[in-house]
Every structure is written in C-alpha cells, then in structure tokens.
A and B are shown apart, each in its own frame.
Chain A
Amino acid sequence: MKTSRVTSAGSCLALAVLVAACGGGGSRNLIQNKGSDTLVNVAQAWAESYASVASETVVAVSGGGSGTGIAAMINGTVDIANSSRKMKDSEIELARGNGNEPIEFVVGFDALAVYVHPDNPLDQVSLEQLAELYGEGGDVDTWSQLGVEVPGCGSDEIVRVSRQNNSGTYVYFREAVLGERRDFRLGSRDMHGSKDVVDLVENTPCAIGYSGLAYATDHVKMPCVKKGEDGDCVSPSVETAIDASYPIARPLFMYTAGEPQGAIREYLDWVLSDEGQCIVYEKGYAPRGDVNCS
C-alpha cells in the first residue's frame, strides 16, 4: 500500500514535470499536497477530478502521515498539508517562526471505526471499555472480560492493534477515547498505516484495532460504539458521522502556510464546493454539511 502510494505520487510528479515541459513553461500551476494517510485516497481523487475542472493546474499528492505533511508545510516544501488532527500549538509556533500563519480548512469528517475479526461475536463496545483496553493502567486483557468467546482465539488474549505514535489517527484516538492526560498502554502492535491495521485484524482472530471507516472491507467486522454502559450504540457510517451521533468521528483538515492565493485558493474553494464534497462522500468519508450528490 505504502509503496503504491509513493509510486503514484512519484508518477504524478513525473507527469507534472513532463506536462510543464511540454506546455512550454507557460501557465501551468503545480500544487504540492502531502500528509495524512487517512486523507490520501480522497486527496488523490480530488487531484484527479480537478484535472477536468482546471486543466492548467496539476496537483501532486503524497501520503506519509499528518505530521509529515504539517512538517513539510512548515518547512515550505508543500503548498497544502492534509491532516487528520488539529495542528499542535508547538507546530503553529514553528510555522509563525517561519513567518507563516497556518490557515485551517475543515474538508470533511471521518468516523474512526473499531475493527474485529469477522468471526468475533462482539457486537458493541463502549468508550470506557476501549479506554480500559488501550489505556495505561487498564485492566481489560481478555475477550471474556468483554463478555464474548472468540472462535479461533484459544488463548482468549486480546491482541491490541494500534498505530505508530505520531499518526493523526493515534493522536485523535488518544484524545477522544483515553482522555487528555492518559497514555496508551505499551505492548500494542503499532501498525504503520491505516490499511495495515485492517489487514492485520482481518487475519488475526484475537485482534481488535481502530482505523478510518474508509478502510473497511468485507472481511472485517465493525461493532457499534456507545458512550457509557447505557448509551445508544451507534454503528460507524458516513451518516452517523455527519449527524455527529457516532462518538469517535473527527474532522479532517487541510492547512496552508498563510492565506492561500491564486491557484491554491481556487483549488481549496473547489474542494469545499458541492463537487469536491461529493468526492469526500464517494470515498467513504462524511462531507462538511448537506450536499446533493447525483
């Protein structure tokens, strides 16, 4: 997955160079767009569709993670950073130090689904259970503590699947589920990509993991999530992310260094328009508001 992304970004870039060369050095615009793995699919779809809207602008998209994109935006090597978390104060300070006020755009919402193996009978899970499972000092270690017996998981041990410690998904899950001042418990399998989490859970009966809803496949199961023991249990979906009834849905951001101008401004306006937001919906994320998509 990782490699194919890099390749496609690379070929995009190569194409852009080629196009610029063929265009005789005239009025082509190249927008560099980098960051969140959660957003990379939809960012690529935007870039592809935008070619038919404004043919003189080429958008080169690459992934690498929210932190990567933000760091690149601060250092001035990309025009737009994709992020699945808000910029930290320290990052905003760094950007200001370089003379750029970062400008934030909310481009959609993502439901963070909890994934288990398809044979797992677990139908619902509460935020409190997740916190005791993933959080430091938590005491949930076995499936029987969650009231289920998982076929194919003889040891009863829960295999916690998480993300590397500076992915946007990891940071959001920590804040939303564990709380501000609680750390993750060590010993989780920290996957290096949203899709890797789903892949591992798919192949591992004992596993539980969290990742963006857009990475769901037919080979994994997503239990509904409730807030508190008596709360309503809500299944993750684009609809429940839009109406904010799903408890772990997060905004997705694009950041620019300073107020965007020219082609970048036009591109962001288009991303936020109905046409751009419908692509968000098609890719399995929630748009910013009500849009009519054919």
Chain B
Amino acid sequence: MADMTHAADRRDLAWWVDRAMQVLVLAGGLSAIVFIAGIFVFITREGAGFVFDRLDFREFFFSPRWTPTSSHNPTYGALALIAGTASVTGLAMVVSVPFSLGAAIYIGEFATGRVRETLKVLVELLAAIPSVVWGFIGLSIMNPLIIQVFDVPVGLNVLNSGIILGLMAAPIMTTIAEDALKAVPDTYREAAEAMGATRWQVTFRVVLPAARNGLVAATLLGVGRGFGETMAVLMASGHSINLPTSPFDSVRALTATIAAELGETAAGSDHYQALFTLGIFLFLVTFAINFAADVFVRGGRRKYRRRGRRPAASANP
C-alpha cells in the first residue's frame, strides 16, 4: 500500500504529462466560458449606449417601422423583425419536429445494422450542407416552385424559408433525439417486451415517455438553431419588413437584418448600435432557449439515475 502511494507520487515523465494534459484540458474547458463572456461583453458594450440613451422600448417591441437610414426620421421598431424570425422558426418546427423525431425513432428503435449506420451518416451529412447553399436552393428552386404551385405573387416567404430552415434544423434535432432515446436503459424495453408489448407499443408507451425531456431539449435546440440561422433565411424569406398574416407573406428576420446592414454602417452610429441591440436581444433569446434545453436534459438524466436503480419498479405499467 505504502509502496503504491509512493509510486503514484513519483514525478517521472508520466506524472508531468498527466499534469500538463490536465492544465491543457482545463484551459480548453475554461476557454468556452471566456469566449461566451467576451462575446457578451462585446455586443453589450457596442449596443449599450443606444439601449440606455436612445432606445424607446415601446417603439422597439411594438412598432414594425424599421427605417434606420431615413434621412429625416429614423425609427427603430423591431416588431416586424421579431415576428419574422418567430414565424419562420415556428413553421420550421412544424416541418422538422415530425421529420426528425420520426427519423430518430426509426434509427434508434427500429433500424438495425447497415441501414442504421447508413442513415446516421446521411443525417449527419445533411448537417454539413452550408447554409448559403440552402439559401440558394430557396432562391432559385423553391421560389419558382411556390409561385407555380400556390399561384402567389412571390415565392420568397415564410413557407419557403420555414421549409429550408426545418430541413437545416432536422439533423441536429435527430442526433440529439436519438441520443435521448439511447439513454433510456434497455431494461425498460426488455421489461415491456417481456410483458408482451409490440415494438411500437414499447416505443410509444415506454421509451418515448421516458425520453421526453431529452426530446423536448432536442426540439428547443432546433428552435435555437432556427432563431440564429442567418444566410439561408436572408436569401429565402424575401427580406421584407412585414407583419406576416399568412405563410405566403415575405418577412425579414432579426439575424438577416444584422447581416445585411452591419457591413455598410459607420461604426458607432445610431444605426450600428441599434443593430447591436438586435444582437443583444437575439443573444438573450437563444441563451434562454439553450438554458431551458439544458434544464430539460438535466431533468432527464436525473430521472434515469433515480429509476435506473430500480428499473423493474418504474417500467411496471
């Protein structure tokens, strides 16, 4: 015993390597905190002057008039931009939730062997398509298609960008949802099967309820993805300041507004700071969404741990 302690404390090469690697991974872990804090400080500093001095909260949240470059009466109403982002993200979820949950259930519970591996790779490949390519598809393929099929004046609208965004958010949602299904202990499935449940009954009655928190988290992360996506939305949404009343209305997203205008704005001007205010707002919203997702994931984990010890008791219907 004494010898072993001594050996473990010996400062040979392995000990130093161990130490160095610990410091290195600690730096890696801390860097995430440093970066997120740095980004928050930066956008807040750039936008703070405007938020505290000139921002009219009523105008910002309740007026759809975003005319920052007007020569005589610049206004900074973000309602139409918020509505644009919300409507596109909402439609994207309608598209992607059934698709990605279906895909996750199939991959996690039904598919086996080759099919399963191939599908997983393909879903991940879908995530690798650059957003500007998605935007291009929206602009040059979906636009004429929507005009033809629905006989509407223009095909760059909520529907177009919602579908594009839904397809973009689906891979990450599928991957996380599948992880959530995988985290449900096999003892649950075995217990249910032992009681004569079919595959679908096992999935629907046992696995899905047990994985509920993880699935909610997957959906929330998809929402976060939708809120933050820029390029594809900029190209496919029509980029038009408008309070949408139907899926065929063109809208403009918060992110797309920042992307389109920041590059040509004099640093430090009101317009510049107003764009950073949009950035602060976006940051807070996505932070809240991710935080909520995290809470759900934690809730899920705790549940497995608690129940995992007595699987037979809780799998009992």
Question: B152 on the interface (CB 8 Å rule)?
Answer: yes
Question: A206 on the interface (CB 8 Å rule)?
Answer: yes
Identify which of residues 185-211 in chain A touch chain B, using a CB-to-CB cut-off of 8 Å: 186-192, 196, 199-200, 203-207
Considering only CB atoms, which chain B residue lies closest to A170 in the complex? B69
Q: Which of B139, B241, B260 contacts A186 (CB under 8 A)?
A: B241
How many A-B contacts if CB must be within 8 Å? Answer: 106
**Which residues of chain B have C-beta atoms less than 8 A from A65's C-beta?**
263-264
Considering only CB atoms, which chain A residue lies closest to B237 in the complex? A189
Segment with Cβ contacts to A, from B117-125, B153-161, B167-175, B183-191: B153-161
**Which residues of chain B have C-beta atoms less than 8 A from A128's C-beta?**
none
Question: B240 on the interface (CB 8 Å rule)?
Answer: yes
Identify which of residues 128-173 in chain A touch chain B, using a CB-to-CB cut-off of 8 Å: 153-155, 157, 159, 164-167, 170-171
* CA–CA, A66 and B264, complex, Å: 7
Question: B103 on the interface (CB 8 Å rule)?
Answer: no
Segment with Cβ contacts to A, from B54-62, B140-148, B205-213: B140-148
The answer to whether B260 and A164 touch across the interface, beta carbons within 8 angstroms, is yes
Identify which of residues 187-239 in chain B touch chain A, using a CB-to-CB cut-off of 8 Å: 234, 238-239
Question: A287 on the interface (CB 8 Å rule)?
Answer: no
Q: Which of A159, A171, A192 contacts B154 (CB under 8 A)?
A: A159
**Which residues of chain B have C-beta atoms less than 8 A from A171's C-beta?**
69
Question: A247 on the interface (CB 8 Å rule)?
Answer: no
**Which residues of chain A have C-beta atoms less than 8 A from B240's C-beta?**
187-190
Question: B266 on the interface (CB 8 Å rule)?
Answer: yes
**Which residues of chain B have C-beta atoms less than 8 A from A3's C-beta?**
132
Indicate with 1 or 0, residue by residue over B238-266, a CB within 8 angstroms of chain A CB atoms: 11111000000010100000011101111
Question: A91 on the interface (CB 8 Å rule)?
Answer: yes
The answer to whether B265 and A166 touch across the interface, beta carbons within 8 angstroms, is yes
Q: Which of B67, B151, B152 contacts A165 (CB under 8 A)?
A: B67
The answer to whether B67 and A183 touch across the interface, beta carbons within 8 angstroms, is yes
**Which residues of chain A have C-beta atoms less than 8 A from B155's C-beta?**
203-204
**Which residues of chain A have C-beta atoms less than 8 A from B265's C-beta?**
67, 71, 166
* CA–CA, A153 and B154, complex, Å: 9
**Which residues of chain A have C-beta atoms less than 8 A from B147's C-beta?**
203-205
Question: A90 on the interface (CB 8 Å rule)?
Answer: yes
**Which residues of chain A have C-beta atoms less than 8 A from B151's C-beta?**
154-155
**Which residues of chain A have C-beta atoms less than 8 A from B64's C-beta?**
186
* CA–CA, A181 and B132, complex, Å: 37
Indicate with 1 or 0, residue by residue over B249-291, a CB within 8 angstroms of chain A CB atoms: 0101000000111011111010100000000000000000000
CB distance from B309 to the nearest CB of A (A): 55
The answer to whether B72 and A203 touch across the interface, beta carbons within 8 angstroms, is no
* CA–CA, A68 and B252, complex, Å: 22
* CA–CA, A196 and B71, complex, Å: 25
Question: A268 on the interface (CB 8 Å rule)?
Answer: no
Asked, given contacts A67-B264, A164-B261, whether A187 binds B239 with beta carbons under 8 Å apart, the answer is no
The answer to whether A206 and B154 touch across the interface, beta carbons within 8 angstroms, is yes
The answer to whether B239 and A189 touch across the interface, beta carbons within 8 angstroms, is yes
Question: B65 on the interface (CB 8 Å rule)?
Answer: yes
Asked, given contacts A180-B71, A186-B242, A189-B250, whether A203 binds B144 with beta carbons under 8 Å apart, the answer is yes
The answer to whether B264 and A189 touch across the interface, beta carbons within 8 angstroms, is no
**Which residues of chain A have C-beta atoms less than 8 A from B238's C-beta?**
189
* CA–CA, A186 and B151, complex, Å: 23
Asked, given contacts A91-B266, A164-B260, A166-B265, whether A206 binds B239 with beta carbons under 8 Å apart, the answer is no
The answer to whether A166 and B69 touch across the interface, beta carbons within 8 angstroms, is yes
Indicate with 1 or 0, residue by residue over A202-230, a CB within 8 angstroms of chain B CB atoms: 01111100000000000000000000000
The answer to whether A71 and B267 touch across the interface, beta carbons within 8 angstroms, is yes
CB distance from B161 to the nearest CB of A (A): 12
* CA–CA, A203 and B148, complex, Å: 11
Q: Which of A68, A94, A190, A200 contacts B264 (CB under 8 A)?
A: A68
**Which residues of chain A have C-beta atoms less than 8 A from B66's C-beta?**
186
Asked, given contacts A71-B264, A203-B144, whether A181 binds B71 with beta carbons under 8 Å apart, the answer is yes
The answer to whether A187 and B153 touch across the interface, beta carbons within 8 angstroms, is no
Q: Which of A64, A74, A167, A204 contacts B153 (CB under 8 A)?
A: A204
* CA–CA, A188 and B267, complex, Å: 26
* CA–CA, A159 and B151, complex, Å: 14
Identify which of residues 75-128 in chain A touch chain B, using a CB-to-CB cut-off of 8 Å: 75, 90-91, 94
The answer to whether B263 and A190 touch across the interface, beta carbons within 8 angstroms, is no
Question: B5 on the interface (CB 8 Å rule)?
Answer: no
The answer to whether B132 and A167 touch across the interface, beta carbons within 8 angstroms, is no
Considering only CB atoms, which chain B residue lies closest to A181 in the complex? B72
Most buried by A among B71, B151, B153, B259: B153
**Which residues of chain A have C-beta atoms less than 8 A from B154's C-beta?**
159, 189, 200, 204, 206-207
Indicate with 1 or 0, residue by residue over B289-312, a CB within 8 angstroms of chain A CB atoms: 000000000000000000000000
* CA–CA, A200 and B80, complex, Å: 22
CB distance from B317 to the nearest CB of A (A): 55
Q: Which of A71, A165, A191 contacts B266 (CB under 8 A)?
A: A71
* CA–CA, A3 and B154, complex, Å: 25
**Which residues of chain A have C-beta atoms less than 8 A from B250's C-beta?**
187, 189
Considering only CB atoms, which chain A residue lies closest to B144 in the complex? A203
CB distance from B18 to the nearest CB of A (A): 42
**Chain B residues in contact with chain A, CB under 8 A?**
64-73, 80, 132, 139-140, 143-144, 147, 151-156, 234, 238-242, 250, 252, 259-261, 263-267, 269, 271
Q: Give 7 pairs: A residue, B residue, CB < 8 Å, sorted on A.
A: A67-B266, A155-B152, A159-B154, A171-B69, A186-B80, A189-B240, A199-B140
CB-CB nearest 7 A-B residue pairs: A67-B264, A206-B153, A166-B264, A65-B264, A164-B260, A186-B241, A165-B69
